[in-house]
Amino acid sequence: MDNPDRSQRTASVKALAREMGFDLVGISSAEPFTERSQATLQRVQEGLMDGLPWFTKERVSRGADPRHILPTARSIISLALNYHTPSPTEGSPMGEPLGGRPLRGWVARYAWGEDYHRVFQRKVKLFLERLPGVAGRPVAARWYTDTGPLLDRAVAERAGVGWFGKNTNILTSIGSWVLLAEVITDLELEPDRPLKKTCGLCRACMDACPTGAIVAPYVLDNARCISYQTIENRGAIPREIRPLMGDWVFGCDICQDVCPVNRKAQLAREYALFARDGERARPELLGLLDLTEAEFQERYRNSAVRRTRLSGLKRNACVALGNIGDRRAVPSLARALRESRESGLVRAHAAWALGRLGGAEAEAALREALATEQDEGVREETRLALGEVRTAAPH
């Protein structure tokens, strides 16, 4: 039977969430997420989450039951924030005109503006300050976005915010360009029903993924995903993955770009998530190779891009330059191979890119490096690159 108090309270909580600027809001019960947690534990067991040492079975088990986190939990408020901001290549007023000249990479859309963790933090803080007023009593609450033990997507699914796509993202009525957060509370709220939508026969994302990371519908092999390799991997990118990465230097949006659900995706309203300039979305790659630590810290001060660190970003820029295949990059890559003393990771990937680009100048740089390089890993990459440099087609 309907409970008018509960209905009224739920409507007020949802209205408050919308007032705070959240694009979608739904309510889930605080019952354990048994099915989705078991699927996740199985993925961990099968090695599909390998490379994420913090993503442990204990973490999944803790997140499986919201009452492990808040013993008095009754409901979870699932919140979504639209980050479908215009691409600078689509004529955004903020985007500089992108001619064919500079060599540029791509940053995934979610990282174009201010770090979304910070944006959520500001908004949820206000929401929590006003929640007791709406509820008519003090409220016990814990909230997370991304970094908590809860499965953000499983919460959104149960709260009817969206449904799982085969690319494992949550798709919604306004597109899949949404970031998720949730507030676990001791408030009794009226749960929403999960949506009945599915991908149907579509498999566009699976066919478009360049690395074959979506190994089956709803199953991602983390280690094959460009997003993992460019953001989370702290070491060398496997040689067989590098040529498949195109010009992505932070994250990857291909499986969302091709998704038909996004053809009608609404544009974001949250200004903090917009790219301040074209460089945020399409950084100039030779410039990235020359960044100092201080410049990196300054430029990405409030950005999610910091997560990959300077050496990771330079590593990714080397791979992108190797894939773009324009020999104007050779002098900068040669300099990175010679002068990136602090990072064997950058030198190794610069060697790889030089091998891909080929030509006399690239070969000379590789030979010079082999004569002086001390790090055995970099020496091996340099030797392999020299083997390729002779066969690389001129551009």
152 binds, among ligand B12, ligand SF4, none (CB under 5 to 8 A by kind): ligand B12
Residues 104-123 that bind ligand B12 (CB under 6 A): 108, 110
Q: Residue 253 or 373: which CB sits closer to ligand SF4?
A: 253
Q: Residue 120 or 250: which CB sits closer to ligand SF4?
A: 250
154 binds, among ligand SF4, ligand B12, none (CB under 5 to 8 A by kind): ligand B12
CA distance 321 to 316: 9
254 binds, among ligand SF4, ligand B12, none (CB under 5 to 8 A by kind): ligand SF4
Q: What amino acid is encoded at 129 in this protein?
A: E
When binding is defined by CB under 6 A, the residue of 44, 70, 126, 204 that contacts ligand SF4 is 204
179 interacts with ligand SF4 by CB under 6 A = no
Q: Residue 1 or 216: which CB sits closer to ligand SF4?
A: 216
Residues contacting residue 130 through CB under 8 Å, at least 6 positions apart: 16, 20
- Show the binding pattern over residues 24-43: x = contacts ligand B12 (CB under 6 A), - = does not: ------------x--xx--x
HSE at residue 228, side-chain half, CA atoms within 13 A, is: 19
Q: Which residue stretch of 170-178, 235-243, 302-310, 322-330 sits at the interface with ligand B12 (rule: CB under 6 A)?
A: 170-178
The residue among 263, 222, 242, 231 whose CA lies nearest residue 115 is: 231
Please, what's the b/e burial string for 36-69 (b: 16 or more CB within 10 A of its CB; e: otherwise)?
A: bbeebeebbeeebbebeeebeeebbeebbbbeeb
Residue located via tokens 């306004």: 174
Burial category of 115 from C-beta neighbours within 10 Å (exposed 0-12, middle 13-18, buried 19 and up): buried
Catalytic residues: 146
170 binds, among ligand SF4, ligand B12, none (CB under 5 to 8 A by kind): ligand B12
CA distance 108 to 232: 14
Minimum distance of ligand B12 from residue 230's CB (angstroms): 8
When binding is defined by CB under 6 A, the residue of 226, 291, 385, 392 that contacts ligand SF4 is 226
Minimum distance of ligand B12 from residue 264's CB (angstroms): 16
Rg (CA), the chain: 23
Q: Which residue stretch of 128-136, 181-189, 259-267, 307-315 sits at the interface with ligand SF4 (rule: CB under 6 A)?
A: 259-267
Residues contacting residue 166 through CB under 8 Å, at least 6 positions apart: 199, 202, 203, 205, 206, 214, 217, 218
Residues 249-268 that bind ligand B12 (CB under 6 A): 251-253, 255
The residue among 40, 41, 18 whose CA lies nearest residue 164 is: 40
Residue 108 structure tokens: 């995934």
237 interacts with ligand SF4 by CB under 6 A = no
Residues 45-74 that bind ligand B12 (CB under 6 A): 52, 55
Q: Which residue stretch of 53-61, 221-229, 323-331, 370-378 sits at the interface with ligand SF4 (rule: CB under 6 A)?
A: 221-229
Instruction: List the beta strands (DSSP E) in the chain.
Output: 24-29, 75-82, 106-107, 141-144, 163-164, 170-171, 178-185, 214-216, 219-220, 248-250
232 binds, among ligand SF4, ligand B12, none (CB under 5 to 8 A by kind): ligand B12
When binding is defined by CB under 6 A, the residue of 13, 27, 159, 220 that contacts ligand B12 is 220
Helix, strand, coil shares of the chain as percentages rounded to 5? 50, 10, 40
> Is the separation of the CB atoms in 324 and 103 below 8 Å?
yes
Q: What is the DSSP letter of 304?
A: G
- The residues that touch ligand B12, with contacts defined as CB under 6 A, are 36, 39-40, 43, 52, 55, 108, 110, 145-146, 148, 151-154, 164, 167-170, 176, 178-180, 218, 220, 222, 225, 227-228, 231-232, 251-253, 255
